[in-house]
Every structure is written in C-alpha cells, then in structure tokens.
Chain A
Amino acid sequence: MLSSLPDSGPLLELRDVTKVYGHGDAEVHALAGVSLTIGHGELVAVVGSSGSGKSTCMNVVGCLDRPSSGSYSFRGVDVGSLDLDQLALLRRHYIGFVFQGFNLLARTTALENVELPLVYRRVPAAERRRQALATLHAVGLEGREHHTPSELSGGQQQRVAIARAIVTNPSLVLADEPTGNLDTARKEEIMRLLTDLNATRGITVVMVTHEADIARWARRIVQFKDGMVESDTTNDSTAA
C-alpha cells in the first residue's frame, strides 16, 4: 500500500512537531514545535546554525526518525503511526538522499552504487542496469560508470550520489550539505544539477546548508533557530 500513495494535497506537512532526546534532567528538545508545509515540485533551502534543529527536522522529514509529538504526514500518510519497516518502505519508494560526505559504497563501481536502491525495489537486473546507466548519463557521468569512488573526484562522487538519489524517480530528494566538501566551481555545478532536476523532473528538493550563497539557489528559504522555524521566506532573486 505504501508503494502507490496519492499525490494530491501538499507533499509533506509538519504540525507542531517536537523531538525530545534523553530523559529527565538530560532531556534535550531538539525540535520545539515545528510547523512546515512543502508542496510538490518546490526547491527549499533549510538554513540555520548547528544545533538549530535543522538536521533533526530533516531526519524527521526524511522518515529516518519519528516525531516525539505533533503530526507529520507525507503524501497524506501519518508517519508517526508507522513502524520501522514501513518507514523504510516509504524511504524506498519516495525519498532520495544526498549526503554531505557522498556516502558511496567504497570499492563499488558508480553503476553498482546507483543500482543499489533499485535492488531493494526488486527491479530486475537488466532493467536496473538500463535505468542506472540512463541516470548516470543524466548527471553527466558518461564513461565513468565502472569507476570506483576512489577513482572519481569529489564533484563526480557527488554526482554519483545524486544519481543514486534520483534513479528511483522519488517525490522528494533530501540533500544534506550537498556542496559541503567541494570547491566553488564544483559547488555551482552541483547546484545547477539539483535545480535542473527540480525544474525538469519536478522532483521536490529540500537541501540543508549553512552557506548563504548556496541557499540563494532556492526559491524558498526556511531558517531554523533553537528548534523552531525562525523565518520562512520566498527568494525572488534565485541564483539560477
């Protein structure tokens, strides 16, 4: 049932979400009542200092974690009521992740890395290969399919990671500091790729960053502070 959810209404909706770690005196309120709605096809930047709760919020949005209180619905499903396996299935079918440290499987070729989400989706081998190759070409990595991460530059590795995130054609791509380890020229390449994917494929992209010039690429900027949304502004002068 989790593989075919309706796409009417907003993509995701957080209502008074809190997240509390620890017990008693050691209690930490990572999220202190966050309400946020993101629609289909949006490109959102989430900014804030470290400890502002933006990472915790992204874990909840990415269905890696469940809220302590409040409600979170993703494509109309109440995530708070799902068990761990159902969360995993939700991630499998609708969410792609791009991490700061690339997080590719070492000593595994780019092609195999991109095929990995399709393996868990039970896509047959031939079809898996075809889709993975097409996606690698879409992110501009022709000729690098059989290279392992150690044989690729940082920018190329991040492209592989992006290909892995979008190969399943997800509703949402969560990018955690996608340009964190890259130089300025590579940063721009990656941001152009993400905005292109957002524009041409209609994939909703939510990226976490602490860099103002990266946030400028997004049309909407959500600022976190002390576990709450401090501001939620529309950016009319996107860098793209």
Chain B
Amino acid sequence: MWLATLLMALREVRRNVMRSVLTTLGIVIGVGSVIAMVTLGQSATARVTGDIAALGQNMLIVLPGADRRGPVSTNAAAFKLDDVRSIEKELTGIAAVAATATKGELVVYGNANYSTIAYGTTNEFFQVRSLKVTRGREFTDAELAGGTPACILGETVRRQLFASQESLDATIRVGLVACRVVGLLEAKGQNTFGQDQDDFLVMPLPTVQRRLAGNGDIGMIFVSVAEEQAIARTKARMEGLLRERRRIVPGQKDDFTVQDTKEIAKTVGSVTGVLTALLGAVAAVSLLVGGIGIMNIMLVSVTERTREIGIRLAIGALADEVLLQFLVEAVLLCMLGGAIGVTLGLGGSWLATRALSMPFAVQPTVVIGAFVFSAAIGIAFGYLPARKAARLNPIEALRHE
C-alpha cells in the first residue's frame, strides 16, 4: 500500500511537472539559502578560528596596559628583562617564552625601501608563533647575546626589497643600522581580517633595544604553555606574579593584560556563530513561506481533484488512505524541493568559499536537518489540505463539477 501510494504520488507530481516545480520553488530557495548561509557561516568561523590558532599553539600574550580594545595608547610601564626572567623561573608548565621589543622602521635595500615592523626577540619567538625559517638559519647564541645586526625577513618584506633577487646574506639597512639577512620565513598569507601576516622582520632582542629603540623595554611577551589544560591556570599565576612584581595592591586594577589566543578564538567564533544563526533564521523564514506555498497549491489541488477523490472514496478508499495519499504527495514535493535546495545550497557555498579562499566546512547535521525539516514542512502544511480531501462526502464529491 505504501509503495502504491508513493507511486501514485510520484505520478501526480510528474503529471503536473510545471506546477510541481513552481510549487517546490519556495522550498528549494528556502532550503538552499539555509544550507548556504549556515555553510558559509561555518566556513567563516573555521577560517577565523584557524587564523587565530595559527598565531601560535596554546599561547598567552602579555601586554603592558589595562585590557583594551583597539590601538589605545597606554602610559603603563613596559616590561623589563627581569620580568621575563622571573616568568621563566617561577612559573611551571611553560614550553617557551619569547620577549619582544618592537619598533616601526623604514628598511632599505638598493633603491627599494619599505616601512615595516622590526621585532627584537629570541629564537623562542619562532616556536611560540608557529613560524618556520625556510631558508637560512635562526639566530646564533652569539648574535642573541651580543646584539649583532642580523635579521630574518617575513615574506612581504623580502618581496618588497628584493623581488626576484637573492636576499640571503645581503645587507639591508633597518632604520640607521646596516643589517645582514640570515634567514627567511615561510609565507603565511593574509588572515581573515585582511591583515598581512608576513609584514615584519625579526632581529635579536638586544639589537632592537639598543640600536633601534635606545632603551631596555620589552613590549610584548609571548608565552607558550606546554599543556592545553594548563592555560587558564598558568594565566592566573602569571597575573599574580606580575601584580606582585609591578606592586599592584589588592583592589587596584591590573596595568597589564594577559590574552589567551584560545579565548580570543572562542570569542570571535561565538560572534560569527551568532551571525550564522541570524542568517540561518532569516533563511528559515523563506522556508516557512515555501511551506505556505505548498499548502496553497495542495488546497487548490484538492478542489481541482474533488471528483477523483469522490471516485476513490466510492470504490472503497478509506478516509485515512485518501489523507495519506495527499500527505505523501505534499511530503514528496517538499523532499524533492529539499534535495534540489541542498544541492544548490552546497554548490553555491562551495563556489563562494572557493572565491573567498575559505575552507569548505559542511556540517552533515545541517544538511540532514534541512532535509528532515522540509519533510516536516510537507507534513505540517500538507495535513490541512489532506484532511480536507479525506473528509469529503463521496456523493457530493462525485457530483462536483
């Protein structure tokens, strides 16, 4: 009986191809846009959190100044090398600490010049920031201790200065300091926010402090925590230690900030998640409208086929069998629309992720969910017309013109 009903419904759908297509168009668009919105949202989230994770593994960033958003100038004291030493000495579970001093400088090679940021730091910097020296080498202990003018270039800086020329062992000028290129970093490209992740160069810490900045300040400390579970605990201990060292009395606010990249990723992820949900909800409204379209056409169909229903009832169809027939028809229409919508939605978002060079993150649960939801819409909006058909009086239905 189920098979016969299904075949009957299929024939009915095929009999009015044009009408069926137009009827399901609402569902196609609804399901398609839900799938596209959610998939694009997921892909964007994956990209953003991926970018933040690429900043470094299990990383804490310690900055002077109270927690702030955006480039607000601070008059809180910078860190000193002693602070870094005590972090290394007193905190456990730390894989690497990279103290940095930064200075914006104009770099010159031949007649090419380019303005970028010079990071003065140690070799731990490459570890905590997940950077790789692809050509040349990292700094030697002698270079790090003595403040030798050596530098390792980010890909953007190398391209700006050297284009296709050999850069290794060349001497460039950073500010007023002549400096030998000893290594080149692997390119990381742009992140989601359009920020160039290769636009900097790295020098030994004392080189930047003494020759460029002219002081012993440390701007930012990158700390890599050995175990992921220990991040929160390490962050709390770090805050305690720094409050003590900077003589902040209880009740007074911190004049420094410890950022957790995992936390940043989570925050950004939740923002894009909310956006995804919002877009999905808007798309779901069109799915609802599509469902109403189905109901509309099914009601018309019942009126149009009153005689047919009369015949079926007269030759012995039960009311439930007529109900089932129309319900199956509505569900079939919705599921056909759902299948087409899923295909279009996935295809569209695949193209979009290609164009925006984002990862294509498909959630099978969303695809299955949209499909099941369209079937549910078929039942919800098909029920009323189906019940109308099932409740027809066979005598009157047969007389219907």
Interface residue ranges, A against B (CB under 8 Å): 59, 62, 64-65, 84-85, 88-93, 95-97, 99, 103-108, 116-117, 119-122, 125, 164
Shortest A198–chain B CB gap in Å is 20
* Given A84-B319, A88-B313, also A119-B4 (CB < 8 A): yes
- The residues of A that contact B4 with a CB separation of less than 8 Å are 119, 125
A18 CA / B18 CA spacing, docked (Å): 49
- The residues of B that contact A125 with a CB separation of less than 8 Å are 4
**Which of B4, B315, B398 has the most chain A CB within a 10 Å cutoff?**
B315
Q: Please state if B395 and A92 are interface contacts (CB–CB under 8 Å).
A: no
- The residues of A that contact B315 with a CB separation of less than 8 Å are 91-92, 96-97, 116-117, 120, 164
Shortest A71–chain B CB gap in Å is 21
Q: Does B311 contact A (CB under 8 A)?
A: yes
Q: Please state if B316 and A91 are interface contacts (CB–CB under 8 Å).
A: yes
Q: Please state if A105 and B15 are interface contacts (CB–CB under 8 Å).
A: no
Q: Does B88 contact A (CB under 8 A)?
A: no
Closest to A91 in B: B316
Which of B15, B308, B317, B395 contacts A65 (CB under 8 A)? B395
A96 CA / B320 CA spacing, docked (Å): 21
Known: A64-B395, A91-B316, A103-B307. 18 other contacts (CB 8 A): A59-B395, A64-B314, A64-B394, A85-B320, A88-B313, A91-B315, A92-B317, A93-B316, A97-B314, A103-B311, A104-B311, A105-B308, A105-B311, A116-B311, A117-B315, A119-B1, A119-B4, A119-B8
- Interface size of B by Cβ–Cβ distance < 8 Å? 22
Q: Please state if B316 and A99 are interface contacts (CB–CB under 8 Å).
A: no
Shortest B138–chain A CB gap in Å is 77
Q: Please state if B318 and A88 are interface contacts (CB–CB under 8 Å).
A: yes
A67 CA / B394 CA spacing, docked (Å): 16
Please, could you name 28 A-B residue pairs with CB atoms under 8 Å apart, sorted by A?
A64-B314, A64-B395, A65-B395, A84-B319, A85-B318, A85-B320, A88-B313, A88-B318, A88-B319, A89-B316, A89-B318, A91-B314, A91-B315, A91-B316, A93-B316, A96-B315, A97-B314, A99-B398, A103-B310, A105-B311, A108-B11, A116-B312, A116-B315, A119-B1, A119-B8, A120-B317, A121-B316, A164-B315
A65 CA / B393 CA spacing, docked (Å): 9
**Which of A85, A88, A103, A104 has the most chain B CB within a 10 Å cutoff?**
A88
A237 CA / B320 CA spacing, docked (Å): 47
- The residues of B that contact A85 with a CB separation of less than 8 Å are 318-320
Nearest 10 A-B pairs (CB), nearest first? A92-B316, A91-B316, A117-B315, A119-B4, A88-B318, A97-B314, A120-B316, A85-B318, A103-B311, A88-B316
Q: Does B321 contact A (CB under 8 A)?
A: yes
A122 CA / B316 CA spacing, docked (Å): 12
Shortest B186–chain A CB gap in Å is 66
